[in-house]
Amino acid sequence: MTRLLLFDIDGTLLLSGGAGTRALNRTFEELFGVEGAFAGIPVAGRTDPIILDDALERAGIRADADGRARFLARYCQHFEREILLPGPRKGLMPGVRRLLDRLQHTPGVVCALLTGNVARAARIKLEHFEVRRYFACGAYGDDAPRRDDLVPIAVERARRIGIDVDSPGAAVVIGDTPLDLQCARAAGARAVCVATGSFSTEELRRAGADAVLPDLADPECFLAAVG
């Protein structure tokens, strides 16, 4: 049986140096004429559709499902350019490429994604940092706005491409926020947290993670943590 490792992207695998926020603000300004619409809106661990809903509500703008989909499509176009620019802490997190190389040759584990990013934004990020090939499949912010619904979607998608994962309980969520571990709990999956995002090891431990690592730099510690 396979252990499905569901990696969060932002703060866990990589940081895009503020490119996401710049692209969101730029899109909002272009479509609705409001500047800095995402300033102060929390993003860590949340899905893109929910982050957008918060900004729309704060600006007093109503948008139907089509309007929101158009927004996110335009956001991805801006994001494709923004990610080319330098930004604070931009890059893969420590040890990520080495760990992914190692996992590729580790029997019984398969790497996939579980992220609040819409699928296209996730693809842009992973391609930019040349790590997309490590991930068999994924569940994304445009599959369900609630992160808690994403583990079963990722497991089902893995099964459909022939990965032998028998239940969400055989998945491990790897993320950098209490919301990552909450979505693991909701599905009966294991939660391993890393302190490379906006929460400290202490905060993640207190939130109830099964294991907390400072980063992904030590493959042996990682393998022990995923069980």
Q: What residues line the site for Mg ion (CB under 5 A)?
A: 8, 10-11, 176
Q: Are 87 and 18 in contact (CB under 8 A)?
A: yes
Shortest Cβ contact with Mg ion: which residue? 11
**162 vs 143: CA distance, rounded Å:** 20
Q: Please, which contacts does 39-43 make with residues 24 or more away whose CB atoms are closer than 8 Å?
A: 43/10
Nearer to Mg ion, 15 or 37 (CB): 15
Q: At a CB cut-off of 8 Å and minimum separation 6, what does 104 contact? A: 111, 134
Nearer to Mg ion, 2 or 201 (CB): 201
| Cβ 33 to Mg ion shortest distance, Å | 30
Nearer to Mg ion, 143 or 176 (CB): 176
Identity of the amino acid at 82? E
Nearer to Mg ion, 8 or 48 (CB): 8
Residue 6's SS3 state is strand
| Cβ 47 to Mg ion shortest distance, Å | 11
| Count of other CB atoms within 10 angstroms of residue 81 | 12
| Cβ 57 to Mg ion shortest distance, Å | 22
| Cβ 112 to Mg ion shortest distance, Å | 15
Nearer to Mg ion, 48 or 176 (CB): 176
| Cβ 93 to Mg ion shortest distance, Å | 10
| Cβ 70 to Mg ion shortest distance, Å | 25
Nearer to Mg ion, 70 or 205 (CB): 205
Find the DSSP H helices in the chain.
19-32, 48-59, 65-82, 96-104, 119-128, 150-160, 178-187, 201-206, 219-226
Strand 14-15 with 91-92, pairing: antiparallel
